[in-house]
Amino acid sequence: MTLPTHAQIVVIGGGIIGCSTAYHLARDHKADVILLEQGSLTSGSTWHAAGLVGQLRSSASITRVLKYSVDLYKGLEAETGLATGWKMTGCLRLATNQDRWTEFKRLATTAGSFGMEMHLVSPEEVKRMWPLMNVDDLVGASWLPTDGQASPSDITQSLARGARMHGAKIVENVRVTGFEMKDGRILKVKTTLGDIACEKVVNCGGQWARQIGAMAGINVPLQPVKHQYIITEKIEGLSTDAPTIRDPDRRTYFKEEVGGLVMGGYEPNPQPWTTGDVPDEWAFRLFDDDFDHFEQHMMQAIDRIPALEKAGVKQMINGPESFTPDGNFILGAAPECKNMFVGAGFNAFGIASGGGAGWVLAQWVVDGEAPLDLWVVDIRRFAGLHRDRQWVLDRTLEAYGKHYTIGFPHEEYESGRPRLVSPLYERLKSHGAVFGSKLGWERPNWFAPAGVEPKDVYSMGRQNWFAPVGDEHAHVRDAVGVFDQSSFAKFELSGPDALKALDWICANDVTKPVGRLTYTQLLNTRGGIEADLTVARIAEDRFYIVTGTGFRTHDFGWIADHIPAGLNCHFSDITEEWGTLSLMGPKARDVLAKVTTADVSNAGFPFGQVRDLQIGGVGIRALRITYVGELGWELHVPIHALGEVFDALMAAGRDHAIRPVGYRALESLRLEKGYRAWGADITPNDTPLEAGLGWAVKLAKGSDFPGRAALERQKSEPLKKRLMGFTVADKDIVLVGRETILRNGEPVGYLTSGGYGYTIGKNVGYGYVRNAEGVSDDFLRSGTYELVVAADRTPAEIAFGPLVDPAMARVKA
């Protein structure tokens, strides 16, 4: 085919993701799309993928994406005439210990919450379904009947034919060599066959996606890892419709293929490939067989399926797969380029994801915003440290090694740490801090008291920090604590048109006098919550914006993308210039008054205001705001003086028993007060009206903002879901989120977050209650509620407001 000189959209890469994206762009959006493949379709990693198709993930949106893949594969042959090799064999996941069994019971609950069929079965039932399996060590298994397997090459070719049928052009044996760019936008894709002018580019380059992105200044943090599996000769007695098997405690997986088995695994000592560029010619190549490294899987697999010991090995596949630092794939609009989108890094489940990923990515490319809450896979979850290839390598290998380990709640990564630390790091260590990591920042999760080792001990029940965190929690409620929140992302928008820009971007009214704070959401066109942050007006033409640590790239990009063209304003990221100390508790004013001459009384410094103060000769920015439901301030301090101000507060608070407090206490405090957490309780799938945040939206004001029309339509009808609080009195219950909410015995939603409220002495969770006819107060009050926790029902009480006594929450006192 002659290369066209112009296309609306250019998709780079002819693996399953690229072909699926081109198919959906052409089928659903009638886009003028051309797909470029440097070799032949399926080259790279698609052709040697194992082809297992699972669906359940911890995110409802990603589970929906994978369920879509299955639905697509079922019907694709009828549309295109090309077989996909799809077989709905179901999948058994095996448990050999109680922690794994608890994990499966929680997964079964999650499956029910997401509308998926999943059963917990006995070892005897496993043996009946898989007679060749040794089940002597099993506690049980989970059974997902709608999972299955497919032929990666066949699906890809079928998608490619479908794309052509709907008008897409596919050109093979053409290599992208660079981009012609202007003002951060790609104008032309440069190739070995000529240039193509285009409006948008979709980088689905697989293991080459990182270097393709680099040509446009984009970072795609991938690491190729060698992944091996074997294909055996025919095994006597193996059914052709045998379920796929995942045996995580033995780190192995199996699927039937032509009467034999495909068997591979995820070892704790993975072998990386290059940290440099992947060779262009590595299309249908493999590494040499490495039986020495694979032996660890072989021994475990033979113990599980003894017939393997005598089975002949037809072939060993040892090829590179692209993995990411957190085990989630990468989709979305690249922050460094205005018109490049990425679909890559599928961590060896690209076949399971391919259909759905192409569907949502195509919609994202056309609309300019994600059609679902895809935060866990959004490329904007990464930051500058992900340009460090050694750091990405180390973290990716750890993530690979955890692929089949038990997913303990609150578990932290250990590699590449410490990376970013606040000036208080050593001080907090001396207080017994146990750190977690967020976007590279070391943050104190809790403080170990004297005689307790400052280390997390993971379990499926109450973990070793439960009691110490309770003490920290109580201290903030009763006295005063200080949180080091220096990792907060901090931005500044300034210039003559800064107010005009923010008035358009923010859902709440930011047209307030200098010295006022505004808590606001940023909304997509569906009215969904894309960001949740605080805006402080510090001058007529200058605003200070504070958001969560992990949302730095995302929120900066969202604001930058939505500043209307032609406005005279400057937007900058100033995160590293400021540290943040949150001084919280009923004694907070007493401490602050000792270190500053400013009037910090309620009359002199009301709630929702920002003031410049002096502490020990250091100029700081104080924000009167709270996320714990107590009197408090965020003290934003020039980073170089953070230690000095911390020491001054600790000295001044000695009479009030001031102490440093960690993020786990912060979480339990905010749950009791009912504060929402973005990414959990509020997401792009949820509107402020549904989340109980309608008071923070300027619908009564005439000015427009993204999502306004959607909210006005929603306000005219009964809400079909509402975020509500729930408590569980049974203290042995552990809530972690995604537990099913039952109303009068029927499922009506699931928890978006969960934890323990130490002040009220109960478990606390939040989740959306759904009802197609509307969720009125009468509907909510008339129900009897239970939660399904790890597959067991437990009584629950619904809550309509904060769970702590309002008199206790001294927000404005």
pLDDT in tens, 359-389: 999 999 999 999 999 999 999 999 999 999 9
> Can you give the pTM of this predicted structure?
0.95
The pair phi, psi for residue 382, each rounded to 5°, is -90, 170
Q: Which residue in 50, 45, 440 sits closest to 273, CA to CA?
A: 45
Question: Which range has the worst mean pLDDT, 62-71, 121-130, 781-790?
Answer: 62-71
pLDDT score at 809:
39
Residue at token pair 């897409």: 168
pLDDT in tens, 207-258: 999 999 999 999 999 999 999 999 999 999 999 999 999 999 999 999 998 8
pLDDT score at 45:
78
pLDDT score at 367:
96
CA distance 358 to 360: 6
Residue 689 reports pLDDT greater than 60: yes
What sign has the CA pseudo-torsion 137, 141, 145, 149?
Answer: negative
CA distance 336 to 186: 11
What's the mean pLDDT in 98-120? 93
How many percent of the chain have pLDDT more than 90? 91
pLDDT in tens, 69-102: 999 999 999 999 998 888 899 999 999 999 999 9
pLDDT score at 691:
98
The CATH number of 6-84+150-222+326-381 is 3.50.50.60
pLDDT score at 46:
74
pLDDT in tens, 545-567: 999 999 999 999 999 999 999 99
What sign has the CA pseudo-torsion 583, 588, 591, 594?
Answer: positive
DSSP, res 244:
E
| Cβ(265)–Cβ(160) below 8 Å | no
The pair phi, psi for residue 471, each rounded to 5°, is -65, -40
Domain 489-577 CATH (choose: 3.90.1150.10, 3.40.50.2300, 3.40.50.450, 3.30.70.1400): 3.30.70.1400
| Cβ(23)–Cβ(166) below 8 Å | yes
pLDDT score at 810:
35
Encode 186-238 in three state secondary structure. Answer: EEEEEECCEEEEEEEEEECCHHHHHHHHHCCCCCCCCEEEEEEEEEECCCCCC
- Burial of 411 from C-beta contacts in 10 A (0-12 / 13-18 / 19+): middle
DSSP string for residues in 283-332: SS--PPP-HHHHHHHHHHHHHH-GGGGG--EEEEEEEEEEE-TTS--EEE
Encode 11-74 in three state secondary structure. Answer: EECCCHHHHHHHHHHHHHHCCCEEEEECCCCCCCCHHHCCCEECCCCCCHHHHHHHHHHHHHHH
pLDDT in tens, 129-166: 999 999 999 999 999 999 888 888 899 999 999 999 99
Residue 2 reports pLDDT greater than 90: no
Structural domain spans, the chain? 6-84+150-222+326-381, 91-146+224-320, 489-577, 582-667, 718-808
Confidence of residue 52 (pLDDT cuts 50, 70, 90): confident
| Cβ(491)–Cβ(545) below 8 Å | yes
Confidence of residue 42 (pLDDT cuts 50, 70, 90): confident
DSSP string for residues in 81-147: S-----B---EEEEE-SHHHHHHHHHHHHHHHHTT---EEE-HHHHHHH-TTS--TT-SEEEEETT-
pLDDT in tens, 289-344: 999 999 999 999 999 999 999 999 999 999 999 999 999 999 999 999 999 999 99
Cα–Cα separations (whole angstroms), residue 224 to 136, 215, 273, 387: 37, 19, 5, 15
Residue at token pair 């926790």: 789
Confidence of residue 661 (pLDDT cuts 50, 70, 90): very high
Which CATH topology does 718-808 take?
Elongation Factor Tu (Ef-tu); domain 3 (2.40.30)
- What is the enclosing helix (H) or strand (E) of 468? helix 466-478
* Two tokens, residue 412: 């932290």
pLDDT in tens, 180-209: 999 999 999 999 999 999 999 999 999 999
Confidence of residue 1 (pLDDT cuts 50, 70, 90): low
| Cβ(536)–Cβ(624) below 8 Å | no
Tell me: domain 91-146+224-320, CATH 3.30.9.10, correct? yes
Q: How many CB atoms lie within 10 A of CB 732?
A: 10
pLDDT in tens, 399-447: 999 999 999 999 999 999 999 999 999 999 999 999 999 999 999 999 9
Q: Tell me, yes or no, if the two domains 6-84+150-222+326-381 and 91-146+224-320 fold the same way.
A: no
Residue at token pair 């017994």: 432
DSSP, res 159:
H
Alpha-carbon torsion, ordered 506, 510, 516, 519, to 10 deg: -30
Upper half-sphere CA count for residue 250 (Cβ side, 13 Å):
28
pLDDT in tens, 439-472: 999 999 999 999 999 999 999 999 999 999 999 9
pLDDT score at 509:
98
The CATH number of 582-667 is 3.30.1360.120
Residue 659 reports pLDDT greater than 90: yes
